Amino acid sequence: MARVAAPSVADDVAALVAESGSRGVIARGLGRSYGDAAQNAGGLVLRLGSLDRISALDPVSGLVTCGAGVSVDRLIREALPRGWFLPVTPGTRQVSLGGALATDVHGKNHHRDGSISAHVTSLTLVDGRGALRSLTPSDKLFWAVPGGMGLTGVVVDLTLRLIRAASSWMQVDTTRTTSLDETMAVLEESDRTSRYTVAWIDGLARGPAMGRGVVTSGDHATVEAAGNAAGPPGRRGMVAPPWFPARVLNPRTVSVFNEAYYRMAPRTPRRSLESVGSFFHPLDVVEGWNRIYGSHGLVQYQLAVEDPECVRLILSMLSRRRAPSFLCVLKRFGPAGRGPLSFPSSGWTLTVDLPVSDSLGSLLDAVDELVLAGGGRVYLAKDSRLRPESLIQMYPRLEEWRSLRDELDPEHIFQSDLARRLNL
């Protein structure tokens, strides 16, 4: 259990931080983290949804200042009709901008545009003393915040530089691939020609078909390309049932789904128009999509590694052990960002959703070993089970981050269940 407060202005945040007890305080956005990053058992949790002010969007520079509680969804709805779009958006709109910065989210365009911290021009932070600090990328302390999982302070607002978007539609190329080698080759080529790229992988395919998938790449459509299709971004259209039969996701059922999804993709490359919602945030169409995993829930595991052979070994292990994932996503990262705990690093990133089972822990421990052997890391925003000794190996700049954190929070007021589990 935790005590929960919902401050509505920055001064209230500062006062609550200054009065927090021995179990400390952590900020919480919209609660979409897959792990325990925004949980603080026995301590104080600050819900920042009331910090939701959006300043006027500069029509020339695209600069906009937002409260930390503003969601990606709301900012898109405000900015897109004015010809602007977020420079980086994760796989769901239902995250706050404060949470997006704390986890330094990335998107389908990391190979070109980096993570969200590369587009933040300033932020206001409540530090461990309860003081308000204004930080810019020229300040070394700024870079402790992206990827810092809320442990360096509470972001109360940030200024972000948006990008131009002529319409609410995307021009998308879809390519079906027959093997991991082909999937990787198409992704690399698409990265050279498109702003956004990603591949869905059939995680159960084996033999020569292992790593087969569907690659989608896209760019914001011009008004001319969008034509009569131009319109507002789509809203949620379905709601998942409040329950789902336990163990419905097994190798047999997921294999059938994967085969059907794979066959639905065109045999030859195809160009089409898609709304920004369906292209960037397909799961948001189904409210409560996670319910399909039943009462046991799911683990989402995301790794980054430079060596493509490591990706091959991990996919081989998952398919060999018949890990039933119908959401298995591969893409390429560009160069690592400046934050010591920022997740993206040059190379490949693989994400898998897996239903919880008795054998899942040992499977993911084995995947951890392959990631460590390949010099890779896992994403803390989605972690709920990593071991502390693994964290030290995965994030070689951890001590640098701790040094910066100690300047912002010398008494370690900011705490979370994740921080205690990983000895951060």
Question: What CATH number did the domain enclosing 55 receive?
Answer: 3.30.465.10
**Judgement on whether residues 388 and 241 belong to the same structural domain of the protein:** yes
Task: Please compute the mean of the pLDDT values over residues 327-350 and round it to a whole number.
Answer: 97
Of 160-169, 230-239, 255-264, 405-414, minimum mean pLDDT range = 230-239
Question: What integer pLDDT is reported at residue 382 of this predicted model?
Answer: 94
Does residue 263 sit in the same domain as residue 338? yes
Domain match, 155 and 212 both:
no
Distance between CA atoms of residues 211 and 312, nearest Å: 8
- Mean pLDDT for the chain overall: 92
Which residue is listed with tokens 């693994």?
A: 390
| Coil, strand or helix at 349 | strand
Say whether both 255 and 330 belong to one domain: yes
At 22 the pLDDT is 83
Of 46, 42, 57, which Cα lies nearest the Cα of 10? Answer: 46
Phi, psi of 369 (to 5 degrees): -65, -40
Q: Quick check: 231 pLDDT over 80?
A: no
Q: Which ranges of 58-212 does DSSP label H, i.e. alpha helix?
A: 72-79, 97-102, 110-113, 180-193
Task: Summarize pLDDT for 346-400 with one digit per residue, the tens.
Answer: 999 999 999 888 899 999 999 999 999 999 999 999 999 999 999 999 999 999 9
The more confidently predicted of residues 326 and 333 is 333
User: Two tokens at 119?
Assistant: 């587009």
* Same domain (yes/no): 417, 307: no
Q: How far does CA 65 lie from the centroid of its chain?
A: 21
Following CA atoms 175, 178, 180, 184 in sequence, which dihedral angle do they give, to the nearest 10 degrees? Answer: -30
Rounded Cα distance between 32 and 141, Å, is: 26
The domain of 125 spans: 3-165+401-421
pLDDT at position 195 is 98
Hey, what are 299's tokens?
């683990």
CATH of the domain at 273: 3.40.462
pLDDT value, residue 78: 96
Judgement on whether residues 22 and 157 belong to the same structural domain of the protein:
yes
Burial of 83 (0-12, 13-18, 19+ CB in 10 A): middle
Q: Give yes or no for residue 178 having a pLDDT over 90.
A: yes
Total domain count for the chain?
2
Residue 249 is predicted with a pLDDT of 74
User: Is a pLDDT exceeding 60 seen at residue 52?
Assistant: yes
So what's the pLDDT on residue 242?
Answer: 54
For the cut 50, the answer to whether the pLDDT of residue 235 exceeds it is: no
- Residue 160 shares a structural domain with residue 173: no
pLDDT for position 73: 97
**Same domain, residue pair 416 and 357:** no
Indicate the pLDDT class of residue 233, thresholds 50, 70 and 90. very low
Q: What is the mean pLDDT of residues 404-408?
A: 98
Same domain membership, residue 146 and residue 110? yes
Compute CA 119 distance to the chain's CA centroid, rounded to the nearest angstrom: 16
CA–CA separation, 129 vs 407, rounded Å? 10
Pairing of strands 63-67, 154-161: antiparallel
Do both 376 and 407 map to the same domain? no
Residue 106 shares a structural domain with residue 179: no
Name the nearest CA neighbour of 43 among 369, 420, 360, 386: 420
Taking alpha carbons only, the member of 79, 252, 264 closest to residue 160 is: 79
325 pLDDT band, cuts 50/70/90, is: confident
**157 and 300, same structural domain?**
no
Of the listed ranges 56-65, 157-166, 169-178, 230-239, the least confidently predicted one is 230-239
